[in-house]
Amino acid sequence: MTAMQKKKAAKTLKGDQTKALILETALEIFRERGYEETTMRAIAEKAGVSLGNAYYYFRSKEYLIQAFYQRLHDEHLAASLPALEDKDTLKARLLAVMRLRIDISKPYHHFAGVLFKTAAHPESPLNPFSDESDPVREQSIALFAKVLEGTKIRIPKDLKAELPYLLWVYQMGIVLFWIHDRSRGHRRTYRLIDHTVDLLDKLIHLASNPFMRPLRKQALRLVEEIREALPDDDDDEKDER
Amino acid sequence: MTAMQKKKAAKTLKGDQTKALILETALEIFRERGYEETTMRAIAEKAGVSLGNAYYYFRSKEYLIQAFYQRLHDEHLAASLPALEDKDTLKARLLAVMRLRIDISKPYHHFAGVLFKTAAHPESPLNPFSDESDPVREQSIALFAKVLEGTKIRIPKDLKAELPYLLWVYQMGIVLFWIHDRSRGHRRTYRLIDHTVDLLDKLIHLASNPFMRPLRKQALRLVEEIREALPDDDDDEKDER
DNA sequence: GCGGCTAGTTGAACGTGTTCAAATTCAGCT
DNA sequence: AGCTGAATTTGAACACGTTCAACTAGCCGC
């Protein structure tokens, strides 16, 4: 009756409750066992629903990972905001956010590989590039916009507009490295972050130099070209799903 | 009866013949139907062997893709060598090789997505970074070394040493874009190649400037750091599992 | 109440990748 | 030829993701 229900209480719609229950259960088992080792039957059984019911709410097993993405970002954001408060240089802010990303992701290391596995697949709902309806992507880019906002350095408008996106891509690169990183405590990834952030900081300053304007313009046109192509912009659609 | 037979003649070892037969059959059906739509049963049936026999020679379905990698590179190399003969600038040579890569890959477009899908997975045998036993990677990098060798431009030794590897990574990026490219005739990918090659050419010249030496050194140290971390050695090649 | 409609739920069944113990073939040795 | 152990081949069996036709529950208009 009160706010503490277990399972079957329907606050607004019973379906929402069931969906959330399945999701929580799935993430729990994923954390313990990993993705491939977790069966849909195990999820359904532990959640106390039928196998078919899980598929009523999640079109496939992959769709469950989308929620993991969101979960990861939420934790990352929650950890980043306080860390950004006392830092005002781009280098320090970026460094903190990147390091926190790894801190947060650590518990999921052995299971995170599957993220990129499916993410690189064009047909996958997880594809972070072409799936425009993915809200996590927007939020993740917004975090890097926040990293920039808190600094005082002078960045040309054109570059500043694209930089959050570029930093997000950079983060994906780091995560990809981290997935392959088998060193103790992932210290290689941390070291890579240190070095790349240092280099990026220099590059951004260099690119902000008026002297570099033509090259910068060209590079940014390129980025624009790539970004335009990635979302589903086509009129000639062959297969429909 | 001489040694020229279709199927069951064993020249040296019958096993080799059977393995080759299964491989050819698999690639054929992959081309027609795509990867996911091709079942191991279909491969075995068309090859005239039992299902279990296919698994005797290929530990999993994924292992069949490794051969596809090799096939793709062989065709790419065969097409690139004559194209390089009449070109002596870095820009023209790189442009030709990159365009040919797409030309060659075209027939496999709808099925190529699975390459990157599994390639990004650390555990996968297809992972082009960490799988040191993959000879295709070496050959592919060697092709880009050849692209460089035919030019007369003056590139610092440190950069020149890493450039083939970096261009190979660049090629992987282009292929990743191409996989997602749904434009007619993949014209967007070709345009992207035009623009990126132009930019790369400029960047390489810029990086070769003595003025850029410190930044270049730092960037190359970074590349070295990344390459070291990936379980792959420079020139030492041993079959260690 | 009753009929019907939609959302939610079920479990059996299917297709597929993979495994495995057993059967078969083969090459070398005595 | 006969034996032996290894290489090869087989097909049944298993586990899992996914689909689907049927069933139930809640609810609205009458």
Structure confidence at residue B48 as a pLDDT band (50, 70, 90): very high
Single-letter amino acid code for the residue at B213 = R
Structure confidence at residue B180 as a pLDDT band (50, 70, 90): confident
Residue B91 has pLDDT above 70, yes or no: yes
| DSSP-derived secondary structure for chain A | --S---SS--SS-HHHHHHHHHHHHHHHHHHHH-STT--HHHHHHHHTS-HHHHHHH-SSHHHHHHHHHHHHHHHHHHHHHHHHTT--SHHHHHHHHHHHHHHHHGGGHHHHHHHHHHHT-TTSTT-TTT-TT-HHHHHHHHHHHHHHHT------HHHHHHHHHHHHHHHHHHHHHHHH--SGGGHHHHHHHHHHHHHHHHHHHHHHSGGGHHHHHHHHHHHHHHHHHSSS--S------
Q: Which residues, 6 or more positions from A62, have their beta carbon under 8 angstroms from its beta carbon?
A: A118, A124, A125, A126
* Rounded distance between C-alpha atoms, residue B126 and residue B63, angstroms: 8
Q: By mean pLDDT, which of B34-38, B155-159, B226-230 is the weakest?
A: B226-230
With a pLDDT cut of 70, the percent of chain A lying above it is: 85
Query: How do residues B2-29 score in pLDDT, each as one tens digit?
Result: 333 222 223 456 778 899 999 999 999 9
Residue B80 has pLDDT above 60, yes or no: yes
Contact residues, chain A, for B215 at CB < 8 Å? 199, 202, 206
* Rounded distance between C-alpha atoms, residue B80 and residue B100, angstroms: 7
Chain A to chain B, count of Cβ pairs less than 8 Å apart?
101
How many C-beta atoms lie closer than 10 Å to residue A175's C-beta? 19
* Rounded distance between C-alpha atoms, residue A8 and residue B152, angstroms: 74
Tell me how many degrees the CA angle A94-A196-B221 measures, rounded to the nearest 5. 165
Contact residues, chain B, for A123 at CB < 8 Å? 113
Residue A65 has what pLDDT?
A: 87
Where are the alpha helices (H) located in chain B, listed in sequence order? 14-33, 40-47, 51-57, 63-84, 90-105, 109-119, 135-149, 157-180, 187-208, 213-229
Distance CA A20 to C1' C19 in A: 36
Could you give the C-alpha distances from A188 to A44, A82, A116, A178, B37, in angstroms and in order? 38, 25, 19, 8, 39
Mean pLDDT of B118-129: 72
Structure confidence at residue B130 as a pLDDT band (50, 70, 90): low
Residue whose CA is minimally distant from C10 C1'? A50
Nucleotide closest to residue A47 (CA–C1'): C9
Mean pLDDT score of chain B: 85
Of A120, A180, A195, the CB nearest to B176: A120
Structure confidence at residue B75 as a pLDDT band (50, 70, 90): very high
Distance CA A135 to C1' C28 in A: 67
Nucleotide closest to residue B14 (CA–C1'): D8
How many C-beta atoms lie closer than 10 Å to residue B210's C-beta? 7
Residues of chain A falling short of pLDDT 70: 1-13, 119, 125, 128-133, 231-241
Residue A113 has what pLDDT?
A: 79
Residue B237 has what pLDDT?
A: 40
- From the list B173, B109, B110, B168, the residue with the least C-alpha distance to B136 is B168
Residue B102 has pLDDT above 90, yes or no: yes
Residue B231 has what pLDDT?
A: 65
Residue B95 has pLDDT above 90, yes or no: yes
A89 touches strand D (CB under 7 A): no
Mean pLDDT of B232-239: 43
Contact residues, chain B, for A130 at CB < 8 Å? 180
Residue B233 has pLDDT above 60, yes or no: no
**Mutating which of B65, B116, B117, B230 best tests the A interface, going by the most A Cβ atoms within 10 A?**
B117
- From the list A228, A110, A215, the residue with the least C-alpha distance to A165 is A228
Mean pLDDT of B94-108: 95
Distance CA B123 to C1' C24 in A: 35
Residue B228 has pLDDT above 70, yes or no: yes
Contact residues, chain A, for B179 at CB < 8 Å? 120, 122
- Strand D nucleotides below 7 A of a protein CB? 7-13, 15-21, 26
Q: By mean pLDDT, which of B58-72, B79-93, B157-171 is the weakest?
A: B58-72
Residue B132 has pLDDT above 50, yes or no: no
Q: Tell me the two tokens of residue B153.
A: 């431009």
Q: Tell me the two tokens of residue A207.
A: 């690119």
Of B122, B188, B218, the CB nearest to A179: B122
Mean pLDDT of B192-202: 95
Q: Which residue on chain A is closest to B122 by alpha carbon?
A: A180
B153 vs B241, residue with greater confidence: B153
Q: Which residues touch strand C (CB under 7 A)?
A: A 13-16, 18, 49-53, 55-56; B 10, 14, 36, 38-41, 51-52, 55, 59-62
B157 class by beta-carbon count within 10 Å (0-12 exposed, 13-18 middle, 19+ buried): exposed
Residue B66 has what pLDDT?
A: 82
Residue B169 has pLDDT above 50, yes or no: yes
> In the block, which residue shows the tokens 């313990």?
A32
Residue A133 has what pLDDT?
A: 55
B170 vs A69, residue with greater confidence: B170
Distance CA A133 to C1' C17 in A: 32
> In the block, which residue shows the tokens 């590139």?
B155
Distance CA A53 to C1' D30 in A: 33
Residue B240 has pLDDT above 60, yes or no: no
**Coil vs helix vs strand at B36:** coil
CB B73 within 8 Å of CB B137: no
Q: Which of residues 140-159 of A touch strand D (CB under 7 A)?
A: none
Contact residues, chain A, for B192 at CB < 8 Å? 222, 225-226, 229
Task: Determine contact: B65 vs chain A, CB below 8 A.
Answer: no
- From the list A17, A124, A146, the residue with the least C-alpha distance to A60 is A124
How many C-beta atoms lie closer than 10 Å to residue A140's C-beta? 23
A138 to chain B nearest CA, in Å? 19
pTM: 0.83
Structure confidence at residue B76 as a pLDDT band (50, 70, 90): very high
Single-letter amino acid code for the residue at B183 = S
Distance CA B52 to C1' C22 in A: 13
Q: Which residue on chain A is closest to B198 by alpha carbon?
A: A218
